Amino acid sequence: MRKSEKPGGKREDGGPTLRRLWCALVASVVVPLLLFAGAAWFDLDRLIEDATDDGRRIAAVLREHTLKAIETHELLLRQVERLTGTLGWEEIRARSAALSAELVGMQAGLPQVSALSLADGEGRAWVASVPVGGAEDIYSVAHREFWMAQRDADRGTFISRAYVGRQTQRFNFGISRRRGTADGGFDGVAVVAVTVGYFTDFWTEATRGKSGAAVLLVRDDGEVLARSPSVSASLPRLAPPASLLMQHLQAGAESGVIRSRSTIDGVERITAFARVGRYPVTVTYGIPVAVIQAEWGEHLLWLGTVCLLAAAALVCTVLSAMRQARRLIDEQSRRATAEIAAWQAQRMELLGDLAAEVARDFANMVQVVDGVASLLRREAGSEHMSFLANMLDVTVAGGRTLTSRLCAFVNPGEDGGERVAAVAPAEAVGDICAMLSRGFGPACRLRCEIEAGGLPRLVRGGRAGLEAAVIRLVGDARDALHGQGEVVVRVTPERVSQAGGLAPGLYARVEVMGIAPGLLPGGAGAACGGAADVGRAGRTGPPLDGVRGFAERAGGALWVEAGPGRARLTVLWLPAVVAVPIGSAAA
């Protein structure tokens, strides 16, 4: 005999693999997003840091330029002091023409200087590098800040607020130094008017290509001396509460970087500032935050495109892997199902082989017993011995019948003889029901009803096949009742016209019905419409496929229905034998 091995091992259902792939799919989206967010944050921080460093560098350059310009102007003032320091105002007025010519020579080659002048204690400019009018109409600077500040106290080198010069008609700010008397009194000022355009032109050139950049020259008291780009309105004084720059300057900061919104144009900027030497002025350079953010937005566009493409590639890869994994899982499932089905088939085949071998061995033993019975009959010397021999003959006949039934149950119709075999349905069904009823307990009963009137004496199919069919149908009904209720086997005649796929004629109708406890048994007709319903019969499972095959080989049919009030109802039609061939007596 062949050995059957069950498909072994617990197969993985693919769940862990798919869960890992789902995690990979989520990661293929989340990781690029996290990388994008991290890179975006890092890039913004880098751009701000670059803007800060660039602001410090440019502010340092602007501070050096402003410092050199103011030092040059202070040097001019000291030259004017050396030229006129020992002269009184009577002598200065007498030599005003010559002294003015000297100032014109000093101014030559210095385009940033609008004018050099010398004013007395009453504010009259007697000496200047530009025309100041006649003696009766001398130009007065007594209203200028650079003169008033020095009058009140010696301010050293004082830088005034910006103004428009009367002679030059240019926007200037004055740098002045005080002239004093021998007793320390106020005796006028020497002043150089510096054109604001000199600084703004340089700042414009220095910040070329810096979109939105702004440069300020502001005094420690918040007075804005110059700005680039210029504004149409007058420049406001910066106040500490509203100006973060003034807060830092009043705190004594020499340089630094701040981020604040301008009180002049309302633009938020990152501003670097630096004090101009020892002078009370500070130069600032600011770059708009919006410009940095715009550049950052361009970087984000490229970075986002790269991350999106990377995420799309990862997602496509993972989805492809998931599809392949599903195909592999489906293929493994199909193979496992096929292996189990093959194992079950092999197992059933082995059981059939075992049953066949048992049947053959039993047949051999029956043959031996038959031979012994024949010897006893020939050697019988008494009536008792003859009786024993007859009993052995009866037992041998029963053994042969049981063997044929077992072979038919294992391989129904294997020899192809059941197409012409005939059986008495009442006798066969009654005998097998009597035998089966002994296996029923008190909770589940078997009842057999046979309507002899009009029932065909013989039907096609063979006794072994019919008994095997009844055994299977009764077992199926009993299993459906779960051991509780009653199984009714009813054999009745039925004449069929052309309907339901059955040939016209007389049939033996075998009904097997399972009735659950507490439910009315009903009639067959209540659940089955008759032979016309054969075409609508439902599918049978493997337990009843053999019965259906037996019925169809015999020219009949099988009808199965699970109806309300019944666990199972099956009807088997077997056609009557009109002319029984010789040798086809009931087995």
Lowest mean pLDDT among 73-82, 132-141, 233-242, 245-254: 132-141
What's the CA gap between 233 and 224, in Å, rounded?
13
Mean pLDDT, rounded, for 525-550:
56
**Helix (H, G, I), strand (E, B), or coil: what is residue 452?**
coil
Any alpha helices (H) in 164-259, and if so which ranges?
196-206, 244-250
pLDDT in tens, 299-317: 899 988 998 998 899 889 9
Among 126-140, 307-321, 467-481, 530-544, top mean pLDDT goes to 307-321
CA distance 563 to 511: 14
| Span between the terminal Cα atoms of the chain, in Å | 31
Which residues share a beta bridge with 285? 215, 272
Beta strand pairing status for 268-275 and 255-261? Answer: antiparallel
Q: Is residue 277 part of a domain?
A: no
Q: Residue 171 above 60 pLDDT? A: yes
User: Can you tell me the distance from the alpha carbon of 408 to that of 425, in angstroms, rounded to the nearest whole number?
Assistant: 17
Sign of the Cα torsion 186, 192, 195, 198 reads: negative
Query: Based on the domain organization, do 571 and 450 belong to the same domain?
Result: yes
Residues 380 and 426 in one domain: no
Residues 445 and 562 in one domain: yes
Looking at residue 523, what is its pLDDT? Answer: 41
Tell me the C-alpha to C-alpha distance, in Å, between residue 523 and each of 32, 387, 486, 528, 530: 72, 48, 14, 9, 12
Task: State the Cα–Cα distance between residues 500 and 557, nearest whole angstrom.
Answer: 9
Whether the pLDDT of residue 445 is over 50: the answer is: yes
Band of pLDDT at residue 412, cut at 50, 70 and 90: low
400 and 372, same domain (yes or no): yes
What residue spans of 130-228 are helical by DSSP H? 145-152, 196-206
**Does any domain span residue 370?**
yes
Query: 325, exposed or middle or buried, with CB in 10 Å at 0-12, 13-18, 19+?
Result: middle
Q: What is the CATH number of the domain that holds 380?
A: 1.10.287
10 Å CB burial of residue 316 (0-12, 13-18, 19+) is exposed
Buried b (16+ CB within 10 A) or exposed e, 462-472: bbbbbbbbbbb
Answer whether 331's CB lies under 8 Å from 63's CB: no
- Rounded distance between C-alpha atoms, residue 62 and residue 272, angstroms: 11
Beta-strand ranges (E) seen in 96-246 are 113-119, 125-128, 158-164, 171-180, 186-195, 214-219, 224-228
- Give, for 494, the enclosing helix (H) or strand (E): strand 485-496
For tokens 């059941």, what's the residue? 418
pLDDT of 1-33, one tens digit each? 445 455 554 445 567 888 888 888 888 889 889
Separation between Cα atoms, residue 181 and residue 165, nearest integer Å: 28
Residue 458 lies in a domain: yes
Same domain, 432 and 387: no
Asked whether residue 473 falls in the same domain as residue 565, the answer is yes
Query: Who contacts 5 (Cβ-Cβ below 8 Å, separation ≥6)?
Result: 343
What is the per-residue pLDDT across 152-166, written as a single tens digit (0 to 9) for each? Answer: 888 889 998 888 877
The enclosing H or E element of 135 equals none
Contacts 24+ apart (CB under 8 A), 19-27: 21/318, 21/321, 21/322, 21/325, 22/322, 24/318, 24/321, 25/315, 25/318, 25/319, 25/322
Distance CA 516, CA 143 (A): 123
Q: How many angstroms separate the CA atoms of 286 and 51, rounded?
A: 9
Q: By C-alpha distance, which of 468, 429, 463 is closest to 449?
A: 429
pLDDT value of position 67: 93
Give the sign of the dihedral formed by CA 386, CA 390, CA 391, CA 395. Answer: positive
What's the total number of domains in the chain?
2
Predicted confidence at residue 375, as pLDDT, reads: 66
Query: Which of 34-43, 354-363, 366-375, 530-539 is the most confident on average?
Result: 34-43
What pLDDT score was predicted for residue 63?
94
Say whether 181 sits in a helix, a strand or coil.
Answer: coil
Q: Kindly state whether residue 271 falls inside one of the protein's structural domains.
A: no
pLDDT at 419: 44
Does one domain contain both 389 and 512?
no
Model pTM score: 0.54
Q: Which of 219, 224, 324, 371 is nearest to 282 (CA)?
A: 219
Boundary (domain end) residue, out of 410, 430, 465? 410
Beta strand segments in 379-474, E: 422-423, 444-450, 459-460
Can you tell me the mean pLDDT for 354-359?
Answer: 74
Mean pLDDT confidence for 283-292: 92
Of 410, 439, 466, the position where a domain reaches its end is 410
Are 430 and 571 within one domain?
yes
pLDDT, greater one: 582 or 354: 354
Could you tell me if 433 and 568 lie in one domain?
Answer: yes
- The boundaries of the domain holding residue 396 are 341-410
The better pLDDT of the pair 87, 523 is held by 87
Contact yes or no for 21/327 (Cβ under 8 A): no
CB atoms within 10 A of CB 76: 20
Q: What whole-number percentage of the chain has pLDDT above 90?
A: 20
Residue 425 near residue 454 (C-beta atoms within 8 A): no
- Cα–Cα distance measured from residue 219 to residue 249, given in angstroms and rounded to the nearest whole number: 10
Looking at 388, 410, 432, which one is the last position of a domain?
410
Per-residue pLDDT tens for 61-70?
999 999 999 9
pLDDT band at 529 (very low <50, low <70, confident <90, very high): very low
**Of the ranges 15-19, 230-234, 456-460, which one carries the lowest mean pLDDT score?**
230-234
The length of the chain in residues reads 587
**187 inside domain:** no
Q: Give the integer Cα–Cα distance in Å for 188 and 128.
A: 14
Here the tokens at position 528 are 């089955």
* Tokens (6 digits) for 574: 């077997």
Asked whether residue 181 carries a pLDDT value surpassing 60, the answer given is yes
> Considering only CA atoms, which of 87, 90, 93 is closest in space to residue 134?
93
Which residues lie closer than 8 Å to 17 by C-beta, 6 or more apart? Answer: 325, 329
As a whole number of angstroms, the distance between CA 376 and CA 390 comes to 9
Reported as a single tens digit per residue, the pLDDT across 88-132 is: 888 888 888 888 888 888 888 888 888 888 888 888 888 888 876
Distance (Å, whole) CA 71 – CA 394: 146
- Please name the amino acid found at residue 453: G
Within this chain, do residues 351 and 461 fall inside the same structural domain, yes or no? Answer: no
Q: What would the mean pLDDT of 513-535 be, rounded to a whole number?
A: 56
- pLDDT cut 70: percent of the chain above it: 80
Q: What is the DSSP letter of 453?
A: T
The per-residue pLDDT for 524 is: 38
Residue 275 has a pLDDT of: 94
Q: What is the mean pLDDT of the chain?
A: 81
Residues 477 and 555 in one domain: yes
Across 381-406, average pLDDT: 67
424: nearest Cα among 220, 254, 577 = 577
Residue 73 included in any domain: no
Label residue 479 by pLDDT band (50, 70, 90): confident
Residue 229 lies in a domain: no
Let me know whether 355 and 433 are in one domain: no
Q: SS3 of 502, please?
A: strand
- Listed ranges 336-350, 398-412, 485-499; the one with the highest mean pLDDT: 485-499
CATH no. for residue 481?
A: 3.30.565.10
Q: For the chain, how are helix, strand and coil distributed in percent, rounded to 5?
A: 50, 20, 30
| 166 found inside a domain | no
Strands 505-515 and 557-561: what pairing? Answer: unpaired
Confidence at residue 383, expressed as pLDDT on a 0 to 100 scale: 64
